[in-house]
Structure 1
Amino acid sequence: MDEETKITLRLPKDLHRWLTAQAKSARRSLNSEIVYRLEVGRGTVVADAESPGGDSPSPALLRRRSDSSPA
């Protein structure tokens, strides 16, 4: 992430609890969990089933897919 934008996000309480539990399981902050899931959803990150949370990529994978060329 070269540039960041701060936002306020409203979530249903049950979704917030679920995301918080997922983040804790993956040893990530809530923000990192949300960013990770958005990146997976748009196909820019490959999920890693061997990590503590079951799908936590390395920081390099959060930036781009392994099959993409550097910008």
Structure 2
Amino acid sequence: MSTEKRISLRLPAELHERLVARATADRRSLNSEIVYLLEVALDSPVVDDDSPGGESASPDPLRGKPDSSPA
């Protein structure tokens, strides 16, 4: 039995480009960068006032919002 699962994931082109750039800057593969960001997001709960019942939501980097870092 494998300890890993494979998934097929569709991403907006702009988000894919941002993830590739971030992975390159962090010297990780794209897959490793996505896994890292998901682990960080799941380890740091953020309350989302827009979610029913104020459920936890992922932090901004995974929500597809524009990057606020200087160009």
TM normalised by structure 2 equals 0.57
Partner residue of 1:35?
35
Q: Which has the higher helix share?
A: 2
Give % identity: 56
1:12 to 2:35 alignment: no
Deviation at 1:29, TM superposition (A): 0.2
Choose 1 or 2 for highest CA Rg.
2
By relative contact order (CA 8 Å, sep 6+), the higher-ranking structure is: 1
Q: Which consecutive unaligned segments of at least 5 residues does structure 1 have? A: 45-71
Displaced runs of 4 or more, over 6 A: none
**Which whole-Å CA distance do the structure 2 matches of 1:3 and 1:11 have between them?**
24
Partner residue of 2:58?
none
TM normalised by structure 1 equals 0.57
Deviations 1:7-65 (A, max 9, x none): 11000000000000000000000000000000000117xxxxxxxxxxxxxxxxxxxxx
